[in-house]
Amino acid sequence: MTRLLRWMLGWLAGSAWLLAEVAPPQQFLPPDTLAVVTLPDVPAARSAWQASNPGRLWADPAMGDFRARFEGTFRQKWLAGIERESGLDLGELLALTRGQATFAVLPPPTPTPGAEAPGIPWLLLLDAREGSDALARLLDKARAHLATKAPSVATNLQIDGHRFTRLTLDLQASVPPGAQVPAEKLEDENLHWEVCFGQVGSAFVAGPSWSAVSNVIPRLAATNAAAGMAGRASFARLWSSTLKDRPAWFHVDVAAVYQRIAPGLEGVFGMLSLLGADPAKVVPATGLESIGAVAGAVTATGAGMTADLVVECPAAKRAGLTQVMQILPKEAGLPEGIPDGVASFQRWRIDGAAGWKALESSLERVSPNLGKLARITVESAGQVFDPNFNLQRDLVGNLGDDFITFSLPPTGTNLLQLRWSGRVQMVGSPNPARLTSGWKALEALVHMQAGALEFSERTGPGGRKVMVATVAAKGGAQNAFQMVPAPTHVVIASDGPSMDAYLAAASGRRAPTPPGNTTVPAVPAAPAPQAPFAPAPGTNATAAVAQTSTPVQTPTPGAPGGVAAIPGWSEAVAGVGGTGRGLFGFSQPSLELRPVWEALRTSESLAGVMPAGTTSLETVQAVESWADFKRLPSFEAVARYWTLQALSGATDAEGYRFRWFSPRAP
């Protein structure tokens, strides 16, 4: 009896890893993991998806025909081929996934001198939890299928008690004759995949090779106690502020990726050496080198869907673009003069003059000659219109800290026209009249034809004089842009109707307050400093970020332009933490997407809504092999799922933080 008891205890001790729950990715993945995306609890994530707006839209009976075609093509083109070649029943495998689902990109091994560079190793883990025995039977069935193939296409490996199978998936050959997607359509696609799969505890583990999966097996089997990703200080900060307790999250080690690709980037910028520039300094000068990591998380609750994005970029390391884009802690709600019914709106509070100087500094860091060339280029463009144009006086010195863009609902007959709807930019300035001269120079460079631009003047709504820029083209002069100075901004519109919409709205309201003091009516400041973002709905309070003392504005109960009447307005503004963090925007998919949706649905072919010469017949056929847009329901049938979407952002000592929120559809 004693011997039997000892044997049972020994067996249980030796098999404890079979019963233990698989460790979370931050523990079993090595600290130098390049990227990871995970669903910590697949059943919970599945339920959240089904209750979310996108999930409800996809499951709506009105989408049935379109959904059946898309999912059928996906199964036929990818899943069926993988199943035939591997013997794995992917549907059953996904049904068995009752724990986490994790995909990671691992650092590649050091290449052998003279050998071909190794590919990027990846890892897929699906935890079956209590379905471990069923997972083992599923894999045995797959191996039995592979054993029937001649010649043999698989190799079985037995290492440290773990059984893995290695094979090459030839999806090109797996498309059967007579299939709806014929093999000739796949000729240009690389459909040969090396894969190695097996089971560790209750988890299905797969990668492109044995070496790719072998590094994590000791951690999964609890035979390696070394710290994983969680042991890194930078990851730990992002975990506590953004990723913890979230049903879906990702992390990318941008610094590690940069170190691996930086040597190859010098060749890309080699031509700059003709200007006396050092190609090795180009990317560091942009400021991308100052980004440590990017992380994000998604939460779907009864209130709606929330997505957070964090860019780790310490203030002391910022340069170039990362310095230019620093968000000032100022009000970014709707100012006076925004027309009713805008499709989208975005407002950034960044220091324009300081940003310009940061760009100049970056160019001079690469090469003093490059910095001089940039200044000469801008001044030359400005002097085409004004011989006395001075870069500092007319442009840099008059840039403010308020940059606004809004768009009107799209109109047109093809997708290109519907994609680029009427847009209006508002650039804050202490002297808008002077800045118009400098902005001409920038617009001339954007249009790449300073000498071809011609200016005239027209009278817009409210008697305002509008500067109209045109450029010669086939069929006569075409509109380039229109511009008018406002009390605190320079307003640049893509076309006449957009400018008139702004002027009509502005003429019916009082003039905006000066930049830096612009506020939305009825928006009192919060009584005490708060974190850049409150925790996402349904998450643990520890997910709040507490690294700034910027006062938070309370949600807007009403604002000019009639936005208070938009369904979900108050909920969307509250969901992103208000409008007072320096970046705020919103979009109305019901206005932006409706004409595009209807154009795709009612056209006989995708080619019918594409401008001539913008796409090939092969591209059209490739898209239509996946999606038959004629099967879409009317937009009105699914319009309720496309609720208002809001965005806010802030900068603190550690980096940039953004939040997106969309209220749940009724």
pLDDT digits 0-9 by tens, 51-95 = 999 999 999 999 999 999 999 988 888 788 888 888 999 999 999
Residues 511, 606, single domain; the answer is no
Residues 363, 498, single domain; the answer is yes
pLDDT band at 243, cuts 50/70/90?
Answer: very high
CA neighbours closer than 13 Å in the CB half-sphere of residue 46: 11
Residue 369 covered by a domain: yes
Q: Considering only 103-112, 230-239, 415-424, which range has the smallest mean pLDDT?
A: 415-424
Contact (Cβ atoms closer than 8 angstroms) between residue 650 and residue 580: no
Q: What percent of the chain has pLDDT over 90?
A: 42
Residue 528 covered by a domain: no
Contact (Cβ atoms closer than 8 angstroms) between residue 339 and residue 408: yes
C-alpha 647/C-alpha 578 separation (Å) is 9
In the predicted model, what is the mean pLDDT of residues 455-469? 91
C-alpha 251/C-alpha 239 separation (Å) is 9
pLDDT digits 0-9 by tens, 568-589 = 898 999 999 999 999 999 999 9
C-alpha 584/C-alpha 646 separation (Å) is 7
Better-predicted residue by pLDDT, 420 or 525: 420
Sole residue written with tokens 């990818």: 78
Q: Calculate the average pLDDT of the chain.
A: 80
The pTM of this model reads: 0.84
pLDDT at 617: 67
What secondary structure letter does DSSP report for 30?
-
C-alpha 536/C-alpha 310 separation (Å) is 14
ω into residue 527 within 30 of 0, thus cis? no
Residue 190 covered by a domain: yes
Residue 601 covered by a domain: yes
Q: Which residues contact 276 (CB under 8 A, 6 or more apart)?
A: 367, 368, 369, 370
Q: Considering only 112-126, 227-241, 294-308, which range has the smallest mean pLDDT?
A: 112-126
pLDDT at 158: 82
Residues 41, 187, single domain; the answer is yes
What is residue 221's three-state secondary structure? coil
pLDDT above 80: residue 124: yes
C-alpha 521/C-alpha 505 separation (Å) is 16
How many domains does the structure of the chain reveal?
3
Residue 107 covered by a domain: yes
C-alpha 469/C-alpha 455 separation (Å) is 5
pLDDT digits 0-9 by tens, 337-386 = 888 889 999 999 999 999 888 888 888 877 777 778 778 888 777 777 77
Residue 59 covered by a domain: yes
Q: Which residues contact 229 (CB under 8 A, 6 or more apart)?
A: 25, 26, 27, 29, 30, 31, 33, 36, 235, 251
C-alpha 481/C-alpha 436 separation (Å) is 12
pLDDT above 80: residue 414: no
pLDDT at 7: 39
- Domain-terminating residue out of 182, 210, 231: 231
pLDDT at 63: 96
pLDDT above 70: residue 533: no
Task: List the domain range (segments joined by +) for residue 430.
Answer: 334-518
pLDDT band at 513, cuts 50/70/90?
Answer: very low
Residue 304 covered by a domain: no
Residues 62, 206, single domain; the answer is yes
Q: Each residue of 524-550: b (16+ CB within 10 Å) or e? A: eeeeeebbbbbbbbebeeebbbeebeb
pLDDT at 319: 87
- Domain-terminating residue out of 197, 212, 231: 231
pLDDT above 50: residue 519: no
Residues 43, 147, single domain; the answer is yes
pLDDT at 277: 65
For residue 466, the surrounding DSSP H or E stretch is strand 465-473
- Domain-terminating residue out of 172, 205, 231: 231
pLDDT at 466: 94
Q: Is 284 left (phi over 0), alpha (psi -120 to 50) or beta?
A: alpha
Q: Considering only 269-278, 319-328, 372-381, 494-503, which range has the smallest mean pLDDT?
A: 269-278
Q: Which residues contact 596 (CB under 8 A, 6 or more apart)?
A: 410, 415, 418, 419
Residues 188, 62, single domain; the answer is yes
Contact (Cβ atoms closer than 8 angstroms) between residue 204 and residue 142: no
Instruction: Name 252's bridge partners.
Output: 35, 294
C-alpha 474/C-alpha 458 separation (Å) is 23
C-alpha 291/C-alpha 310 separation (Å) is 11
Provide DSSP, 103-128. Answer: EEEPPPPPPPTTSPPP---EEEEEE-
150 phi, psi to nearest 5 deg: -135, 125
Residues 482, 604, single domain; the answer is no
Provide the 10 A C-beta neighbour count for residue 454. Answer: 12
Residue 383 covered by a domain: yes
Q: Considering only 11-20, 65-74, 84-93, 596-605, which range has the smallest mean pLDDT?
A: 11-20
pLDDT at 279: 64
209 phi, psi to nearest 5 deg: -160, 165
What secondary structure letter does DSSP report for 433?
H
pLDDT above 70: residue 665: yes
In the predicted model, what is the mean pLDDT of residues 248-261? 90
In the predicted model, what is the mean pLDDT of residues 446-451? 58
pLDDT band at 248, cuts 50/70/90?
Answer: very high
Contact (Cβ atoms closer than 8 angstroms) between residue 632 and residue 70: no
pLDDT at 192: 72
Give, rounded to a whole angstrom, the gap between the first and last alpha carbons of the chain: 65
Contact (Cβ atoms closer than 8 angstroms) between residue 196 and residue 207: yes
C-alpha 639/C-alpha 589 separation (Å) is 9
Strand-pair category, 403-407 with 453-459: unpaired
C-alpha 524/C-alpha 653 separation (Å) is 26
C-alpha 546/C-alpha 650 separation (Å) is 12
3-state secondary structure string across 555-601: CCCCCHHHHHHCCCHHHHHHHCCCCCCCEEEEECHHHHCHHHHHHHH
pLDDT band at 616, cuts 50/70/90?
Answer: low
C-alpha 620/C-alpha 604 separation (Å) is 12
Q: Considering only 11-15, 32-36, 275-279, 425-429, which range has the smallest mean pLDDT?
A: 11-15
- Our CA angle for 540, 664, 575, nearest 5°, is 50
Q: Which residues contact 114 (CB under 8 A, 6 or more apart)?
A: none
C-alpha 499/C-alpha 630 separation (Å) is 35
C-alpha 208/C-alpha 312 separation (Å) is 30
What secondary structure letter does DSSP report for 245?
T
pLDDT at 526: 30
pLDDT at 490: 95
Residues in the chain: 666
pLDDT digits 0-9 by tens, 159-215 = 778 899 998 877 665 444 444 444 344 444 456 778 999 999 999 999 998 888 888
pLDDT digits 0-9 by tens, 283-324 = 777 788 899 999 999 998 889 999 999 999 999 999 888 888
Better-predicted residue by pLDDT, 278 or 286: 286
In the predicted model, what is the mean pLDDT of residues 155-162? 83
Q: Which of 437, 431, 433, 445 is nearest to 480 (CA)?
A: 445
Q: Is 432 left (phi over 0), alpha (psi -120 to 50) or beta?
A: alpha
Q: Considering only 257-271, 325-339, 377-391, which range has the smallest mean pLDDT?
A: 257-271
In the predicted model, what is the mean pLDDT of residues 97-126? 83
pLDDT at 16: 38
pLDDT above 90: residue 395: no
pLDDT above 80: residue 517: no
